């Protein structure tokens, strides 16, 4: 009887121990499940953070690449502007050089033409002056020849008439030529 009671007490203790073990196992399983859920949540959060960081890095890389492209475009535009300024300066220098050359050539041509005109006018004046001298000399010789061989009264009358007749036209021509000479002198 005592053995039976002892056995029953042992069985009851064993059952209690098994029940306690089952409860502990269930509790451990529940804790493990909670831990797994926490680990999963942490892993998901970490994965999200990593994804966000990669996205940020991608955005930063794209921004840097775009900034580099913009900088290259700006440098290219500045280079083109500098080249254009150089072209404009070269064109202005060429235009000024052509203008200076043209002005110098025109000045030389004007000086040459002026010298030629003065030479021509001087030659024309000398020629006209010589013609006037020849006419005056001819008039004088004609008057003297008409006075030769006449008596005093007739010589005086004939001289005055002859001089008037002989010198009329030549003197008018001389006056005209003299006027032309004066006009030429005035031009000089």
Convert the pLDDT of each residue in 24-36 to its tens digit: 777 877 888 888 8
CA dihedral defined by 176, 177, 182, 188, rounded to 10 degrees?
Answer: 140
Q: Which of 57-66, 78-87, 142-151 has the lowest mean pLDDT?
A: 142-151
Q: What are phi and psi of 80, to 5 degrees?
A: -65, -40
Q: What is the structure's pLDDT at 186? A: 47
Cβ atoms of 177 and 131 closer than 8 Å: yes
pTM above 0.75, yes or no: no
Domain that holds residue 53: 2-187
Domain count, the chain: 1
Q: Mean pLDDT across the chain, nearest whole number?
A: 72
pLDDT band for position 113 (cuts 50, 70, 90)? confident
Is the pLDDT at 89 greater than 80? The verdict is yes
pLDDT single digits (tens) 97-106: 888 888 888 8
Q: What is the structure's pLDDT at 27? A: 81
Q: Between 110 and 155, whose confidence is greater? A: 110
Tell me the CB-side half-sphere exposure of residue 4, using CA atoms within 13 A: 1
Cβ atoms of 125 and 188 closer than 8 Å: yes
Q: What is the structure's pLDDT at 118? A: 80
Is the pLDDT at 125 greater than 50? The verdict is yes
Q: What is the structure's pLDDT at 152? A: 47
Q: Is the dihedral of CA 68, 72, 77, 82 positive or negative?
A: positive
Is the pLDDT at 63 greater than 50? The verdict is yes
């Amino acid at each position: 009887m005592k053995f039976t009671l002892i056995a029953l007490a042992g069985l009851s203790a064993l059952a209690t121990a098994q029940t306690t073990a089952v409860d502990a196992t269930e509790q451990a399983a529940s804790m493990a499940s909670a831990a797994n859920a926490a680990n999963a949540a942490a892993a998901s959060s970490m994965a999200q953070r990593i994804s966000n960081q990669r996205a940020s890095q991608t955005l930063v890389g794209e921004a840097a690449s775009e900034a580099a492209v913009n900088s290259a475009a700006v440098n290219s535009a500045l280079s083109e502007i500098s080249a254009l300024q150089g072209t404009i300066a070269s064109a202005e220098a060429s235009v000024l050089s052509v203008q200076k050359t043209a002005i110098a050539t025109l000045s030389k041509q004007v000086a040459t033409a002026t010298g030629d005109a003065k030479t021509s006018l001087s030659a024309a004046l000398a020629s006209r002056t010589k013609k006037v001298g020849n006419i005056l000399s001819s008039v004088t010789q004609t008057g003297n020849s008409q006075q030769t061989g006449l008596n005093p009264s007739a010589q005086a009358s004939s001289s005055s008439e002859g001089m008037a007749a002989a010198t009329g036209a030549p003197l008018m021509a001389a006056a005209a030529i003299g006027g032309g000479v004066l006009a030429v002198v005035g031009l000089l």
